[in-house]
Amino acid sequence: MIHLRTAEEMNVIARGGAIIAGLLEELPSQIRPGLSTAALDAFCERYIVSHEGAVPAFKGLYGFAGSVCVSLNEEVVHGIPSSKRVLAEGDIVSVDVGVRLDGWCSDSAWTFPVGQVSQEARSLLDVTERALGAAVEAALPGRHVGDIGAAVVRTVEGAGYGIIRELVGHGIGRDVHEEPQVPNVGRPGHGPLLREGMVLAIEPMLAAGSPGIRTLRDGWTVVTADGSLSAHFEHTIGITARRPRVLTALGQTVGMESGGWVLEAAPNAG
């Protein structure tokens, strides 16, 4: 069932989204070589719960152990935070964050460079972020879900990257995952009708090589089948009469300082 949300309900989702936005703005100054993904996860959890009533929406969801998903390099999504997984110069790291606040969920992801990265990595990040922007702009009432995926395809076409087809965006609201599914490929005018009041998590995922994926033995971490780099960018958006409303926009005012936290590097990290 596809739910339509009121403006007031979108406002509550946006409050949670502002917490995510503030967190994602903090991360570039924190992410560095030598940091474990467990330390990154702990920082994110502290930031989220420092806001009254907010909790990590992913912690315990379907049995997931972390507060956020931290995915490195060839890891597309659902990387499990670990003290043994340590960031290195030249890595790229995706941080996928969910917040539950006052019974409503918001969801966003961003992929960050770790120190100086290759031109290949920078180009992949740039194209994936632009694909997200194009997909969001396509989410207008009267269009269809297929228009969102078509916008991703148009943006990526000719860049030489693979669009991950087996993983999709989704509706979001009282639950993290709701209807409809929002694929990153599509044809204009096809799929469910986009209507005012729909709230969607749009999340293009690209691979520098083949779009094929596989899941590791941990049952969670999804990686590119050929080991190529992958990037993931995501916003929660609300469909309004005039234009899409980004409910997790970077640059929103959170209303609370980070407290100057600094993440600790992993012990004995080189």
Q: What is the pLDDT of residue 199?
A: 98
Do 31 and 93 meet the contact criterion of CB atoms below 8 Å apart?
yes
CA 102 to chain centre: 21
Q: What is the pLDDT of residue 254?
A: 31
Q: How far apart are CA 248 and CA 108, in angstroms?
A: 7
Q: What is the pLDDT of residue 249?
A: 87
Per-residue pLDDT reduced to its tens digit, 163-220: 999 999 999 999 999 999 999 999 999 999 999 999 999 999 999 999 999 999 999 9
Examine residue 180 and say whether the peptide bond preceding it is cis (omega within 30 degrees of 0). Answer: yes
Backbone dihedral angles phi then psi of residue 89, each to the nearest 5 degrees: -55, 130
Helix (H/G/I), strand (E/B), else coil: 170: strand
Per-residue pLDDT reduced to its tens digit, 106-130: 999 999 999 999 999 999 999 999 9
Q: Which residue has the tokens 């991360």?
A: 27
Per-residue pLDDT reduced to its tens digit, 9-49: 999 999 999 999 999 999 999 999 999 999 999 999 999 99
Per the confidence metrics, is the pTM higher than 0.85?
A: yes
- Map out the domains of the chain with their CATH numbers: 7-246 (3.90.230.10)
When pLDDT is averaged across residues 148-154 and rounded to a whole number, the result is 98
Per-residue pLDDT reduced to its tens digit, 205-262: 999 999 999 999 999 999 999 999 999 999 999 999 999 999 998 543 333 233 333 3
**Residues in Cβ contact with 210 at an 8 Å cutoff, skipping those fewer than 6 apart:** 162, 224, 225, 226, 228
**Is the pLDDT reported for residue 132 higher than 80?**
yes
